[in-house]
Structure 1
Amino acid sequence: MMNRTVTAHSPWALLRGLIKLMRPKQWVKNSFVLAPLVFSGEFLDLDAIGHALRAMLLFCAASSATYVINDMHDIERDRRHPKKSQSRPLAAGIVSVPAALLLLAGLYTVLLGAWFVVPKVLEVIAAYLVLNLVYTFVLKHQPVVDIFTIAIGFVLRVYAGAVALSVPVSSWMFITTLCLALYLAAVKRRQELSQSGSEGRKVLEKYSVALVDRYAEMSATGALLFYSMFVMSAKPALVITVPLVLFGLFRYWFVVEALDGGESPTDALLADWQLLLTVVLWVLTCVWALWPVQG
């Protein structure tokens, strides 16, 4: 107890705790905002790059705000969890609730200021914030709905990227993103269930490993199918990326099944070099295939 008290009063420990509370590692998810930049072919336009990156950074602030609210809401439950009681700054006593509230106010102030600069992007982010607020207090306890809520958050990221560039987004891209996000969310629930049972989340009492396995398989199949249809109907040059997508799905499932990863999609991606290399190759191949032809 004494060590925890000393840590809580250490300015550097508090700063590290506040940064950890924002979960910067999870900002990788916000790279979905950049998808319209790639698929629209505007990745050579400096203004477009700036607009897309600004939208992504604003989504980073918004997602961090949702993490702060979630951790404040779950603080007592996290204190009883064997892992979260040490890994979550609020539950571990590294960051106090008043400090978390100040951080939250700062994040909201940044978003409010951005409203006067890019109001249309902030409309999408506001929808994301409201959705996650309802998720934290209500929807996270509703089986199936909880998985879809997480997935819709990824769809909103893609939509925000399109709004930032004022470009249309193919319906195929939306449904592909939804299926891919459902796959990742289902696998996350599977790993939480298999590793911790229902201790981590109350909603896990309503699931079984076999059930979420079927959800994941259906979603992965849908993601591959709709991505292929999107490519063949709208971006034929990207046909060469389909094998990379297929390998990525196979590899991710291998990481989950054989290496016991997947509870955090971000950790699984960053920890497996083959999976990370596949994503990098997919991005580079997309850019190469969509590179504007001069003359």
Structure 2
Amino acid sequence: MSSRELVVLGTAGQAPTRTRNHNGYLLRWDGTSVLFDPGEGIQRQMLHAGVSSPRIERICVTHRHNDHCLGIPGVLNRMAQDAPGRSVTLHGPADAAVHLRNLAIVAQAQVQVEVVGVPELDELVPVADVAGAHLSARALDHRVPAIGYRLAEPPGTTFSAAALAAAGISGPDVGRLQREGELRGVRLADVSTTRPGQVFAFVMDTRVCPAIGEVVADADLAVLECTYAHRDVDLARTRGHLTARQAGEIAARAGVRTLLLTHFSRRYDTAELGREARDAVAALGGSTLVHVAQDLDVVPLPTRAARG
């Protein structure tokens, strides 16, 4: 099992259907888990997916509309059953902080809950550290204040065993070389390659705006809503959403490696939305892979190769 993967708990926009639950996305990242936008019914979806609630350390909400956060009381109660007395942090735009606190109060769960409001700024702002990666957020453009999330791992270093041996460097000296950048005339670049950090991005309800590109730039896996087909682009703009074509274009231009489409209106066949996004990527000459999410999908983050 991959140590970094996204479990799709629900894919419906606004209202669930017979085959799609309300929103919900759990990111497993190096032994910890972050739950994004848990809508109603997510506690049951977690059981179907085999998701362990004690590993959830943070719940990140993009905005205060209930299809993106009404599952919080149930999730907190599940946590209280599985690991009483534990703590969890709820993140969301500052506009949603009171609503999130009220949802935590409704739960009346034996869980220590901290609600942290994120400023809705036109730049990426730090939110938290997640297992060594940096979680940040940026304001988007919806009918209420909304933010998108970006989780970025710092670049790493991959050493060449042969190069280290040839240079006569071993044991504690390897760590010293990494910290100082040079040791006894040997440069770090002489015996290692740079491994780019992985990037995960999460964007829900928003109109097209430049901020989306900044949130998803160079992401290995980007989750984008595509509530509408492009034939209904005027409706999407009015209601503050993306079309599948727009999602594909944004991902291609931003260099996204894998695009996960979700948050579907029940008026569409999701296969149509997938075709529309793939056609948009192809028209721009992009290489983004497009995946149409289904409930209970498990999507691994693509690995990154080292580069010299």
Q: Normalising by the residue count of structure 2, what TM-score does the alignment of the two structures yield?
A: 0.32
Query: Whose Rg is larger?
Result: 2
* Structure number having the greater helix percentage: 1
* Structure number having the greater strand percentage: 2
Q: Normalising by the residue count of structure 1, what TM-score does the alignment of the two structures yield?
A: 0.33
